[in-house]
Amino acid sequence: MGAQNTPVMDGLVDFVLGLELAALPPAVVEAANRSMTDWLGTAIRGSIEPLADAIAKVIDVTGGDAQSTVVGRGRRTSALLAALANGAQCHALDFDDTHLPSVVHGSAAVAPVVLALGEWRHASGADALTAFIAGFEVETRIGRVIGRRLTERGWHVTATVGTFGAAAAAGKLLGLNGAQLAHALGIAGTQAAGLTQSFGTMAKPLHPGKAAMNGLLAALLAPEGFTGSTAMLDAPDGIAGTFLGVTDLGSAAEDFGKRWELLQNSTKFYAACHLTHATIDGARAIRDKSAPPADAIESVLCRVNPLALKVADQRDPKTPLEGKFSIRFCAATALLHGDAGEAEFTDARLADPAVARVMARVTPEGDASFAIPVAHVTVRLKDGRVLEERIGAARGTPDNPGTREDVETKFRRLAGTVLPVERVERLTRTMRELPGVADVADVAALAAR
């Protein structure tokens, strides 16, 4: 791979090229299958959100060969535009999975590439899953080293690091050789962008769509002789050095086959920023035990990981998207209504006087001793009582995971908003049996409205 010293790039490339589904631990394959299923449900449900309509209008006027399906819609377009649309749709509700150690929405940038390219090239379900695992592991390994610091600096990790995962997945499906894959990762790296300033707007879900599209483009260009920096992950002026001043990504290329980042993935059971989930769990637990009415609540203290204050402290959310990034709103709606699913993030709920009254009494407080899935919620009532709940692992995280049945229940609910019940059941069965599916195009056809 040239004279440059590129151990991180070399290690990740060799890992991707050597990956074989039959040799992987069954738990890793099942985790990938569940993540793909969960992703598809969020992408189908996202197809009826306003951002999907806007993207569809652009696709209508820009065209493209009918290579791949925009899920949940009766539209086929180029693989690049399908990856863009499906990546944005899956993130529209902020309901897709999160790999918390890397702060990456692990499926959001990788699965759209796997489905679009897999449909176009008629890949098998087994090959699609292998590519998904390759992309997921590459992006989260990089993200585990620099993800938190990227977030603290205002970079969106899914947008930046996700581009590498998308390129790795596409490269695996396309059968790139080592030199081509290294160039693809270099081409991906120079396209990596996305700012947390966009959170609470449609530009945030655009990020994984662009990461998917850019990673796929990189992998399509590389075998045509198009070059990129193969030192993108190793050089002092590569992505980590330029964005953060970090010059050592060495740990991203360690312990291959010994640790699998997929086993650290978290499923979202609330349609909000993952950094709010432990708070939501705590508020729901207090409601289940005591159900205090809004006018009885004097104050609500939410102790959380400090990163939550950086990402999810919208103090006065004006839109449902902003509400997803407001610990105050999430705590208030969970205390009063007992949930934070897609139905809670509406203009009507934001305008609810009771929710507004409680939200004004919520104070988030950072605690550096708390991991991201941990929170402590204290509710003080006007009659002097104090209600407390400590959450050690938010629902859906590795220490408090849901079952496959929980994931499929979520999938049915989300996909069933768009597709007929019979179609949803067929899709559920097909995704459960994905390793044996002969052609990914069959999945895409079932997912089209």
Per DSSP, the residues of 339-403 read --SGGGSSHHHHT-HHHHHHHTTEEEEE-TTS-TT-EEEEEEETTS-EEEEEESS-TTSTTSPPP
Return d(Cα 82, Cα 100) in angstroms, integer.
27
DSSP structure class, residue 68? E
Q: What is the pLDDT of residues 185-212, one digit of tens each?
A: 999 999 999 999 999 999 999 999 999 9
pLDDT on residue 2: 43
Q: Average pLDDT over the chain, rounded to whole?
A: 96
| Residue 247, φ and ψ in degrees, nearest 5 | -115, 5
What is the number of alpha carbons within 13 Å of residue 4 lying toward its C-beta?
17
Q: What is the pLDDT of residues 79-125, one digit of tens each?
A: 999 999 999 999 999 999 999 999 999 999 999 999 999 999 999 99
- Is the pLDDT at 440 greater than 70? The verdict is yes
Write down all domains in the chain, each with its CATH number in brackets.
7-268+402-446 (1.10.4100.10), 274-391 (3.30.1330.120)
| pTM of the shown model | 0.93
Cα–Cα nearest to 37, from 419, 406, 438: 406
pLDDT average, residue stretch 220-231: 98
Secondary structure string (H, E, C) spanning 31-62: HHHHHHHHHHHHHHHHCCCHHHHHHHHHHHHH
